[in-house]
A and B are shown apart, each in its own frame.
Chain A
Amino acid sequence: MTTIDRTSAQTRTVQTRDVVVIGGNRIPFARAHGAYATASNQDMLTSGLNGLVARFGLQGQRIGSVAGGAVMKHSKNFNLVRESVLGTPLDPATPATDVQMACATGMEAIGSLADKIRLGRIESGIGAGVDSISDAPIVVTDALRRILMEANRAKTPGQRLKALAKIRPGHLAPQAPGVNEPRTGMSMGEHMAVTAHAWGIGRQEQDELALASHQNLAAAYDDGFFDDLVTPFKGVQRDTNLRADSTLEKLGKLAPAFGRDLGEEATMTAANSTALTDGASAVLLGSADYAEAHDLPQLATFVDYEQAAVDFVDGAEGLLMAPAYAAARMLERNGLTFEDFEYFEIHEAFASTVLAQIAAWEDEEFCRGKLGLDAPLGRIDRSRLNIHGSSLAAGHPFAATGGRIVATLAKMLHGKPGKLGFISVCAAGGQGITAILEGR
């Protein structure tokens, strides 16, 4: 049996240190099959990393680790991040890791790097993410793959022919990646429609949230907020999904896109649901010592992050409600409530996702019964929520969203020492991540 030396464990605790967000860079997000239709994940990620390298003068530097990933990934891209790093001016001795946690991929990449830096294993890290709907990994059918593999294993030409003779025309149809949860057969939107209905989230409030997202993002661009966060790609300067001139009337006219079997009670439209988009993002993290030694900015401290998952398969919990649980554990660990936060960045997978999480955190019964708390986690002041826009306006290239949010929030907190920012990102498979940033 191994015994733990408590003294040294405590010493180690003392030795953990602040992790700072130095800055971020992303390419503008583009609606699927649009401006980036011919760009691959590697193209976009390399460009996003190149922008970050240029912005912080990282040419020739060996970064402790680059972690990132894509949700929609070709099997040939098994080393997507390493291959992208090799395409940048970073020191080729920079190691890279591919990460995958559905829409929380970017957050997990950044959070796990922060832990490594906190423990002193590395001094610097880049958390990144990219996704392309336009270059989705189309594969052959399971049936055709089995036949081809059987032919491959054949020892004689006769056996090979016998295997190949099993191919039928139906086997030849190309297979796009599934959009449905494998265990329920329901798309994310259909799942969210059920959750939104259960929480009584109305159409009007969803449309209002969507409109605010577009208006906030447009204002942030106009104010130059993204000038040092976004680098153009293929001639695109701004997120192409952004509709600055949208109105509640326009949004109100759209027919429901999800939960249509709810009839009159269907509330989710194409406008209050996030559009499929292509894009990439990257965030530079480091120890405070690293930032100081390299004369780099220190926007915010990456304080903590928490993963959660829920039992959604038979409807015990909503598919996208895991962040509600992550938040409860994370806030308790840090002795915080929502009253303590200056800004909230809640990923808008759907407007109703944000509203259902907020409703849950305000709900006495949910907080007691499901989260095991004595009282609700508290209200979230809407004037502090997604104030520079979020995924409904910017789009959501799945793995790139975490990097977009962390860089945006860190910049918002910069110059506000001690002020806290909250992040929530839901993910497929009933998963989610929350995080805390603190201004410096």
Chain B
Amino acid sequence: MTDRIEEQSTGPVDVRRIELPALKDIYVHAGWESARSAVAPRSSGAADELPGHAVVARHPGASAQQLEQYRLLFGGEPFDGVHRRGLPSVLAHILAFPVQMGLLAEEAFPLPLMGMVHLSNAVEHRRRVTVDEPVQIKAWTEGLRPHRRGTQFDAVVEVLADAADVGRPAESEVLWRGVSTYLSRGAHLAGRPGDGEPERQPESSEREEFIPPAKTGQWRLGADMGRRYAAVSGDWNPIHISSVSARMLGMPRAIVHGMYAAGRMLEGREPDDAGHRWRITFEAPMRLPCTVAFHAERRGVDASAGQVVETFTGWDPRKGRRHFTGELASPA
């Protein structure tokens, strides 16, 4: 898998302990900020540097009730505590997400939180995380770099064992590690290619034409899918909730959470005892309601790497536009 996770940075030395943030407060604050900046825009929209610190918070772990709500949404096999005990990767992300958002909402963070576009996720789910297992969540940002439509960066999140030394966690104490890549549209790096001289990247029309693979599944996502995922994840970002709230942020309709697609893609395919890695890369947004055609393919066992690789594609069957591609590598 070619993703940034290979680099395995351990993050800033400066680790600040925070209380587990409440997503609701973050969105209310960000919404207010966004409204305020619409009236009185920040000077130039120029981003300079990412915060030089990481944050860490304690988390009591996922409750059995939250796990069951997750299952009701994704319709997977029962978490019976014997044959299925591990939290799905996307539920681990759900636990960690408020800490990441807490960091992104800090004054020191240079890019506006609202309207940020989720480009991709790469996750290494190293060890099983179980229900009610207290963990620590560490988050930092890195890799601020230009994108043809603005500026992108990586939000790195680690789910650490409760007893881990957060500054220097042992290899075995990093249970889960995810890198989310975000795009801040229209924000440009000071002293780097900006509006005047955009970095040369192929435009969509020049991209390789997408030829849909054979459909192996179909997802019918109702208009309420954003609200349903929000109810399980706590991610009430207005772009996912309703057409009205999405329009306030410049979207024609609400779009489904990228992590909903990731959860659906992984459901029933993740090994319960973990040790797997996966990524998802988002393209055309899934505007609700919609039907997503899905293709899953087992690429066979890679004996040298000791893993089984499955690849995934989601697309709009009518317009033939690709929504996402994904990959899962599990221990063979």
Name A residues whose Cβ lies closer than 8 Å to a Cβ of B. 142, 180, 182-186, 190, 194, 197-198, 261, 313-316
Asked if B214 and A197 make an inter-chain contact with CB atoms under 8 angstroms apart, the answer reads yes
Q: How many angstroms between the C-alpha atoms of A183 and B76 in the bound complex?
A: 9
**What is the size category of the interface that chain B forms with chain A?**
20 to 34
Q: How many angstroms between the C-alpha atoms of A183 and B217 in the bound complex?
A: 8
Asked if A185 and B318 make an inter-chain contact with CB atoms under 8 angstroms apart, the answer reads no
Asked if A186 and B317 make an inter-chain contact with CB atoms under 8 angstroms apart, the answer reads no
Asked if B317 and A184 make an inter-chain contact with CB atoms under 8 angstroms apart, the answer reads no
Most buried by A among B217, B310, B318: B217
Nearest B residue to A170 via CB reads: B224
Q: Judge whether B4 is part of the interface by a CB distance below 8 angstroms.
A: no
Q: How many angstroms between the C-alpha atoms of A194 and B293 in the bound complex?
A: 12
Contact with A along B17-40 (1 / 0, CB 8 A): 000000000000000000000000
Known: A261-B293, A261-B317, A314-B310. A186 touches B298 (CB 8 A): no
Asked if B296 and A314 make an inter-chain contact with CB atoms under 8 angstroms apart, the answer reads yes
Task: Identify 28 residue pairs between A and B in the complex whose beta-carbon atoms are under 8 Å apart, listed by A's number.
Answer: A180-B218, A182-B75, A183-B217, A184-B216, A184-B217, A184-B218, A185-B217, A185-B220, A185-B294, A186-B215, A186-B216, A186-B218, A190-B215, A194-B214, A194-B216, A261-B212, A261-B215, A313-B217, A313-B268, A313-B296, A314-B296, A314-B298, A314-B310, A315-B214, A315-B216, A315-B295, A315-B296, A315-B297
Name B residues whose Cβ lies closer than 8 Å to a Cβ of A. 72, 75, 212, 214-220, 268, 293-298, 310, 317-318, 320
Q: How many angstroms between the C-alpha atoms of A198 and B214 in the bound complex?
A: 8
Asked if B297 and A314 make an inter-chain contact with CB atoms under 8 angstroms apart, the answer reads yes
Asked if B218 and A185 make an inter-chain contact with CB atoms under 8 angstroms apart, the answer reads yes
Q: A183-B217, A261-B293, A315-B296 are in contact. List 18 more A-B contacts (CB 8 A).
A: A184-B216, A184-B218, A185-B217, A186-B215, A186-B218, A190-B215, A194-B215, A198-B214, A261-B317, A261-B318, A261-B320, A313-B216, A313-B217, A314-B216, A314-B217, A314-B297, A314-B298, A314-B310
Q: How many angstroms between the C-alpha atoms of A183 and B267 in the bound complex?
A: 10
Shortest Cβ distance from residue A346 to the other chain B in the assembled complex, whole angstroms: 24
Q: How many angstroms between the C-alpha atoms of A383 and B219 in the bound complex?
A: 41
Q: How many angstroms between the C-alpha atoms of A246 and B200 in the bound complex?
A: 60
Q: How many angstroms between the C-alpha atoms of A315 and B294 in the bound complex?
A: 11
In the assembled complex, which residues on chain A have CB atoms less than 8 Å from the CB atom of B294? Answer: 185
Q: How many angstroms between the C-alpha atoms of A313 and B72 in the bound complex?
A: 20
In the assembled complex, which residues on chain B have CB atoms less than 8 Å from the CB atom of A197? Answer: 214
Q: How many angstroms between the C-alpha atoms of A314 and B311 in the bound complex?
A: 10
Shortest Cβ distance from residue A354 to the other chain B in the assembled complex, whole angstroms: 21
In the assembled complex, which residues on chain A have CB atoms less than 8 Å from the CB atom of B295? Answer: 315
Q: How many angstroms between the C-alpha atoms of A261 and B268 in the bound complex?
A: 26
Shortest Cβ distance from residue B74 to the other chain A in the assembled complex, whole angstroms: 12
Nearest B residue to A193 via CB reads: B215
In the assembled complex, which residues on chain A have CB atoms less than 8 Å from the CB atom of B293? Answer: 261
Q: How many angstroms between the C-alpha atoms of A315 and B295 in the bound complex?
A: 8
Q: How many angstroms between the C-alpha atoms of A261 and B215 in the bound complex?
A: 10
In the assembled complex, which residues on chain A have CB atoms less than 8 Å from the CB atom of B214? Answer: 194, 197-198, 315
Shortest Cβ distance from residue B222 to the other chain A in the assembled complex, whole angstroms: 10
In the assembled complex, which residues on chain A have CB atoms less than 8 Å from the CB atom of B220? Answer: 185
Nearest B residue to A146 via CB reads: B72
In the assembled complex, which residues on chain A have CB atoms less than 8 Å from the CB atom of B317? Answer: 261
Known: A261-B212, A261-B318, A314-B310. A190 touches B218 (CB 8 A): yes
